[in-house]
Chain A
Amino acid sequence: MLNNRQETMRQAAAFFTGEIDRLITKPVRLMEVCGTHTVAIFRAGIRQLLPPQVELVSGPGCPVCVTPNDYLDTAVAYSRLPDVIITTFGDMLRVPGSASSLAAEKAAGSDIRIVYSPLESLDIAAAHPEKKIIFLAVGFETTAPLAAATVLEAERRGLANFYVLSAHKLVPPALSALLADREVRVDGFLLPGNVSAMIGEQPYCFLAEKYHLPGVIAGFDPLDILQSVYMLARQIHASTAIVENQYRRIVRHEGNPAARQVLTQVYETVDAAWRGMGVIPASGLGVNDRYRRFNALAALPLQVEKASEQAACRCGEVLRGIIKPADCLLFGKACVPEHPVGSCMVSVEGTCAAWYKYGAGKWQV
Chain B
Amino acid sequence: MNDKRIRLAHGSGGKLSHDLVTGVMLPAFANAALNELHDGARINMPGVKLAFTTDSYVVKPLFFAGGNIGKLAVCGTVNDLAMCGADPHYLSAGFIIEEGFPVADLIRIVESMQAAASEAGVAIVTGDTKVVEKGAVDGIYINTAGIGAVIDGTGISPTRVRPGQDIILSGPVGNHAVAIMALRHGLVLPQTVTSDCAPLNGLVKELLSAVPDVAVLRDPTRGGLATTLNEIAQQAAVGILVEEAAIPVQPEVAAACDILGFDPLYLANEGKMIIFSQPQASERLLAILKGHKYGKEAGIIGKVTDSPAGQVGLRTLIGGIRLLDMPVADQLPRIC
Contacts and interface: CB of A to CB of B under 8 A. Distances in A.
A337 B335 contact: no
Given A338-B329, A363-B311, A363-B323, A64 B335 contact: yes
A361 interface: yes
Contacts of A90: 261, 332-335
A337 B329 contact: yes
Contacts of B185: 116
Contact of A10 (B305, B319, B331): B319
Contacts of A363: 308, 311, 313-314, 321-323
Given A365-B307, A365-B313, A44 B320 contact: yes
A352 to B, nearest CB: 12
B254 to A, nearest CB: 13
Contact of A91 (B305, B307, B316, B334): B334
A140 B318 contact: no
A49 B318 contact: yes
Given A63-B335, A90-B332, A338-B328, A44 B322 contact: yes
A139 B321 contact: no
Contacts of A114: 332-333
Interface string B293-312: 00000000000011110010
B245 interface: yes
A190 interface: no
A58 to B, nearest CB: 15
Nearest to B300: A1
Contact of B322 (A194, A348, A361): A361
Contacts of A93: 332
Contacts of B318: 9-10, 12-13, 44-46, 49, 222-223, 226
B316 A43 contact: yes
Contacts of A226: 318
A14 B239 contact: no
A48 interface: yes
B241 interface: yes
A116 B317 contact: no
A2 interface: yes
A300 to B, nearest CB: 23
Contacts of A9: 317-319
Given A48-B320, A361-B322, A116 B313 contact: no
A42 interface: yes
A45 B241 contact: no
A359 interface: yes
A91 B332 contact: yes
Interface in B270-311: 305-308, 311
Interface in A341-357: 347-349, 356-357
A42 B336 contact: no
B168 to A, nearest CB: 14
B205 interface: no
A347 B336 CA distance: 11
B245 A222 contact: no
Interface in A56-75: 63-64
B335 A143 contact: yes
B36 interface: no
B325 interface: yes
A80 interface: no
A336 interface: yes
A47 B320 contact: yes
A239 to B, nearest CB: 29
B336 A36 contact: yes
A2 B308 contact: no
A303 interface: no
Given A44-B320, A45-B315, A357-B325, A139 B335 contact: yes
B274 to A, nearest CB: 19
Given A348-B261, A365-B308, A89 B335 contact: yes
A365 B320 contact: no
Contacts of A63: 335-336
Contacts of A64: 335
A94 B329 CA distance: 11
A77 to B, nearest CB: 22
Given A9-B317, A365-B307, A43 B332 contact: no
Contacts of B332: 90-91, 93-94, 114, 348
Given A10-B318, A13-B319, A358 B325 contact: yes
The 4 closest A-B pairs by CB, nearest first: A45-B320, A359-B323, A90-B332, A13-B318
Interface of A: 2-3, 6, 9-10, 12-14, 36, 42-49, 63-64, 89-94, 114, 116, 138-140, 142-143, 194, 222-223, 226, 336-338, 347-349, 356-359, 361-365
5 contacts: A13-B320, A46-B318, A90-B333, A114-B333, A222-B320
Given A48-B321, A365-B321, 16 more contacts: A3-B245, A10-B317, A10-B319, A13-B318, A45-B319, A45-B321, A46-B320, A90-B261, A139-B335, A222-B317, A223-B318, A336-B328, A338-B329, A359-B325, A363-B308, A364-B307
